[in-house]
Structure 1
Amino acid sequence: MTESVLHQDVRTPEDSHPRDKIRRLVFRLGVATLVLMAIGSATRVMNAGLACPDWPLCYGQLVPSSQMNLQVFLEWFHRLDAAAIGFGAIALAVLSWWHRLSLPKWLPWASTFALFLVVFQGVLGGLTVTHLLRFDIVTAHLGTALLFFMTLLIIGAALLPYQGTGTVGKLPWVSLTAAILVYLQSLLGGLVGSRWALHQCFGAQELCTVMNSHIAGVVPPTLAIVAVVLLAWRTPALHPMLRRLANLGGGLLVLQVILGVATFRLHLQVEPLTVAHQAVGAALLGTLVAFTVLALRDRASVIPNPSV
């Protein structure tokens, strides 16, 4: 999810405003977080979660050059990206509080919450290593990353220059429901991955309930997303940005279903498919979150009366 997907090519006098700088920072952090989650998924499927046996350093070094291989690189780069996001979150909080008088009152607090999530995520990252990839900690690690990602997109979408048409109707609540269902399904998918439920079920007929729950759990969010897309198509005078996001969500849903089926059929033997499955799921969640925020702003819009 990038700012270019959400932002119309319209320059305003506010482009030099601190709000604009913060918005750009937020979307860059969002892209970095999406990359971080993809790398984290690659780290898991490549069995590289414990490639660096210590934390926060790797073999006691900032750059473990002598021990470097693909697995070590994945875990090391995962930590490097996380550290960069951490510094970015600090910058976001500092800028928001420094310019608080010229920014929405909620922004400094939202930025502080994002920073808290990053710190908590760092703690969970350390615990995943020291507790040898315990499944509940690994799942919480993913859940917190997704929550941080959503927080960034909420902030970014709320700061976009946007004037709605006031025609969204029930779309905000349908998209909010879809976003919640996708988040819960992502957590369930993280649990399947952290417990290696698919391998366990195919190999020893164990944890099949966990795997089947994730498969059955596809239905509610799929129906909710289809409802968002259909309602967007049927809503007259819907803002073009919302229409683009709805179409993007529909496309990501189709791609996600294809990736999920392929991953299942191939028994997780093709690692890039598994990584893409999680990355597309996160992008789908981000699309729904951005759609929901803009739709709520649209709902609050007042359509000027041209006769006045």
Structure 2
Amino acid sequence: MTTYRKIILAALILAFGVVALGAYVRLSDAGLGCPDWPGCYGKLTPHNAADAINAELAVRPDGPVSHAKAWKEMVHRYFAGTLGLLVLTIAMLAWRGRHETRGGLGLPLLLLGLIVFQAMLGMWTVTQLLKPLIVSSHLLGGMTTLALLLWLWLRERGQLGHTYYANSDHLRNGALLGLILVAMQIGLGGWVSTNYAALACPDFPLCHGAWMPPMDFEQGFTLHRNLGETATGELLPLSALTAIHWTHRVMALVVTLYLGWLVLRLVRSPGYAGMGLVIGGLLVLQVSLGISNVLFGLPLAVAVAHNAGAALLLSSLVVLNYRVRRR
């Protein structure tokens, strides 16, 4: 099963790249760089679709379509398509060697179903014109794919070295809650990003000069609506965007306090100090990147790093949960 494990590892690394690349596409406003799916104006590459792209640029020079944006969008699709093929290969190898794998077929088949659904979400992202619910679901699907691939790789790799892990029953519930809180915060972060609310609060730590600025939670957290619009088709007010951003900040405080407590418990637990320091370091990095996004006006590199940091923090909690359950 050596080849099987190598393919899982390759898919895991690629999944992280796809998550980061997807963030780059979204944050550089290239999500509609090719307004059809799966090709670009029906062509395999933007180079082949140059005439169609030029025609669109002649009509709307400042529109969502350009040669650069088309390449960004299509490169993301190429990488995502390759990941899909790797996951299909993993499922096929798991089926052929089902008597040799460590945990059976359930997880590989779940990954295959998830990757198919991810492809559908990618299509709907374009055809539904970046509807926030769909784009946020696509982000969460990518993070879930990454987490499941990591769990599968850890499982098939077997015992993590020869490190002795003391009884970890007292850490199980805390580790699981940490994972859930980070996943919730990633969901909120996705909602901020897909609604373009990252700078709805332009100051820090206050928001519009107040701890509790005017906010419209009902409009901000109405799921079924178009980008930038209320459920009735009106322009989404600033108070709704403020509510989205403010909620993400409050949840960030909750996650920081909880993970800080969890890190202290890990550092004091035999065999888990290193894991605690890794989680603590990623937490500090992620909080710093989030604050920098506000203070420096959402630089593209910092915003993409914030998304990648979320993926790394999630991954560290996945590893922790695996260890406390499979010591």
1:31 lines up with 2:4 in the alignment:
no
Q: Deviations over 1:202-237 (max 9, x none)?
A: 59444211110000001222223223321121113x
Structure with greater proportional helix content? 1
Equivalent residues of 2:200, 2:245 under 8 A apart: no
Residue 214 in 1 paired to residue 248 in 2? Answer: yes
Deviation at 1:200, TM superposition (A): 4.8
| Code of the aligned partner of 1:113 | L
- 1:13 corresponding residue in structure 2: none
User: Take 1:226 and 1:27, find their aligned partners in 2: how far apart are those partners?
Assistant: 30
Relative contact order, higher structure (CA 8 A, sep 6+): 1
Which of 81, 85, 88 aligns to 1:87? It is 85
State the distance in 1 between where 2:296 and 2:169 align: 42
- The letter for the 2-side match of 1:144 is G
Moved over 6 A (4+): none
Percentage of identical aligned residues: 31
Other-structure match for 1:260? 290
1: distance between equivalents of 2:192 and 2:308? Answer: 16
**2:33 corresponds to:** 51
8 Å contact 1:127–1:137 — kept in the other structure?
A: yes
Moved more, 154-163 or 214-223: 154-163
Do structure 1's residue 147 and structure 2's residue 144 form an aligned pair?
Answer: yes
Q: Select the residue among 29, 38, 41 that pairs with 2:23.
A: 41
Counterpart code for 2:5: R
- Gapped runs of 5+ residues in structure 1? 1-17, 299-308
Are 2:260 and 1:226 equivalent residues in the alignment? yes
What CA distance in whole angstroms lies between the structure 1 residues aligned with 2:168 and 2:279? Answer: 17
> CA distance change for structure 1 residues 199 and 221 in 2, over 3 Å: closer, same or farther?
closer
Aligned residues of 2:34 and 2:41 also touching (Cα < 8 A): yes
Q: How far does residue 261 in structure 1 lie from its aligned partner after superposition?
A: 0.3
Aligned counterparts of 2:240 and 2:146: Cα–Cα separation in 1 = 33
Matches of 1:137 and 1:94, distance apart in 2: 29
Q: Which amino acid aligns with 1:292?
A: N
Count of aligned pairs between the two proteins: 274
The alignment's TM-score, normalised by the length of structure 1, stands at 0.84
Gap regions ≥5 residues in structure 2 = 54-65, 203-236
Residue of structure 1 equivalent to 2:181: 181
Matches within 5 A, 1:233-248: 233-236=267-270, 238=271, 242-248=272-278
Relative to structure 1, is the Cα distance of residues 155 and 254 closer, same or farther in structure 2, using a 3 angstrom cutoff?
A: same
Candidates 259, 272, 281, aligned match of 1:251 = 281
Change (3 A) 1:232 1:200: closer
The Cα shift of 1:154 comes to 1.3
Q: Map 1:1-308 to 2 at 5 A.
A: 18=1, 20-65=2-47, 66=50, 67=53, 69-104=67-102, 106-162=103-159, 164-200=164-200, 204-236=238-270, 238=271, 242-268=272-298, 270-298=299-327
CA-CA distance at 1:201 after TM superposition: 5.4
Q: Distance in 2 between matches of 1:52 and 1:170?
A: 51
Distance 2:69 2:262 in 1: 40
